[in-house]
């Protein structure tokens, strides 16, 4: 598949500002600045605004990770998840170094050309609780599991098996997957656009250390139907028809080859999260 077209339409780039990102669990930066107690990132929101919803009766064998920041590195970092497996020789679209699938990163590079700070958009969404992400690691049974949960602790999808290791310092390293990570953002463009960049079949990997230095990598797929919905949402404010926007987005598809057409049918994306581990 040819490289994504380097077409820069300022209004389109602005309207696509909330799509992007990638990181790899095995390349997590070790020098991330710690989050201070009583704040979310640098915005000073109290922990209570993030940690509300913790089930007081939650057993000690369950740990919930509440996301406090999301970051979206560019695709040239070569970090992320090889979602289609087998490195660059398997799958479709344009893989990054080591076969990493990171279409969000290439899209992020496009919108950065017009000075849009995607990390700020995501930080605002997390801080204002417009996006609430919470991952539960459950080690109560014979097999550890991971699942996304809502503010009330209800599972979003079915729990899936995870691989967990405990370090000598008490930190917990894990890998696994979840069905869905819900991310719906409001882009400050014109009257505002609600866009759904929720990821399906999401791989997770990370480390739970103390409550202020835990981090998590998420990488999954944006299906074609969600991409079509994005094109429709952006069409009016961008002053373009949905087909034109969809045609640009389609050049970034890099997952799931259609056997009949040979074309990709989904877009890869990932996020690096830092946050707080809730303990009963």
Encode pLDDT of 70-111 as tens digits.
Answer: 887 677 667 678 888 766 655 676 777 777 787 888 777 665
Place 146 in a pLDDT band, splitting at 50, 70 and 90: very high
pLDDT for 43 = 38
Cβ neighbours of 137 (radius 10 Å): 23
* Confidence label for 198 from pLDDT (cuts 50, 70 and 90): very high
Q: In a 10 Å sphere around its CB, with 0-12 CB exposed, 13-18 middle and 19+ buried, how is residue 88 labelled? A: middle
What's the pLDDT score for residue 139? 95
User: What's the average model confidence in pLDDT over 52-59?
Assistant: 59
Answer whether residue 144 shows pLDDT above 90.
yes
What whole-number distance in Å separates Cα of residue 103 and Cα of residue 264? Answer: 12
Which residues have a Cβ under 8 Å from the Cβ of 124 and sit 6 or more positions away? 130
Judge whether residue 63 has pLDDT over 70.
Answer: yes
pLDDT value, residue 136 = 95
pLDDT higher at 260 or 234: 260
Over the stretch 113-125, which tens digit does the pLDDT of each residue have?
Answer: 545 567 777 888 8
The predicted-structure confidence for 156-185, as pLDDT tens digits, reads as follows 999 999 999 999 988 899 999 999 999 987
pLDDT at 253 over 50: yes
pLDDT 10s digits, 80-89: 788 887 666 5
- For every residue of 124-159, which 3-state class applies, written as one string? HHHHCCCCCCEEEEECCCCCCEEEEECCCCCEEEEE
DSSP structural state of residue 101: B
Cα 28 to Cα 77, 203, 215, 217, 238: the distances in Å are 11, 15, 8, 8, 36
What are the tens digits of pLDDT across the range 4-40?
333 333 344 444 443 333 333 333 332 333 333 333 3
User: Which tokens belong to 235?
Assistant: 């069409």
Tell me which of 23 and 50 has the higher pLDDT. 50
Residue 150 pLDDT class (50, 70, 90 cuts):
very high
């Amino acid at each position: 598949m040819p490289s994504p077209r380097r077409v820069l339409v300022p209004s389109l780039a602005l309207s696509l500002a909330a799509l992007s990102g990638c990181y790899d669990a095995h390349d997590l930066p070790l020098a991330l600045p710690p989050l201070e107690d009583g704040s979310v990132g640098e915005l000073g929101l109290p922990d209570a605004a993030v940690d509300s919803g913790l089930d007081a009766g939650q057993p000690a064998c369950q740990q919930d990770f509440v996301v406090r920041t999301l970051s979206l590195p560019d695709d040239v970092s070569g970090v992320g998840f090889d979602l289609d497996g087998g490195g660059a020789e398997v799958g479709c679209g344009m893989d990054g170094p080591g076969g990493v699938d990171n279409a969000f990163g290439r899209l992020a590079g496009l919108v950065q050309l017009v000075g849009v700070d995607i990390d700020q958009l995501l930080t605002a969404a997390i801080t204002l609780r417009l996006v609430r992400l919470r991952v539960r690691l459950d080690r109560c049974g014979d097999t550890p599991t991971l699942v996304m949960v809502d503010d009330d602790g209800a599972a979003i999808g079915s729990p899936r098996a995870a691989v967990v290791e405990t370090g000598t310092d008490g930190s917990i390293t894990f890998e696994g997957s979840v069905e869905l990570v819900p991310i719906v953002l409001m882009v400050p463009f014109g009257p505002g656009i609600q866009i759904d960049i929720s990821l399906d079949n999401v791989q997770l990997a990370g480390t739970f250390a103390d409550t202020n230095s835990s981090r998590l990598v998420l990488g999954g797929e944006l299906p074609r139907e969600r991409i079509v919905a994005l094109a429709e949402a952006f069409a009016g404010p961008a002053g373009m028809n949905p087909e034109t926007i969809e045609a640009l987005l389609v050049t970034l598809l890099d997952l799931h080859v259609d056997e009949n057409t040979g074309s990709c049918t989904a877009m890869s994306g990932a996020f690096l999260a830092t946050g707080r581990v809730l303990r009963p």
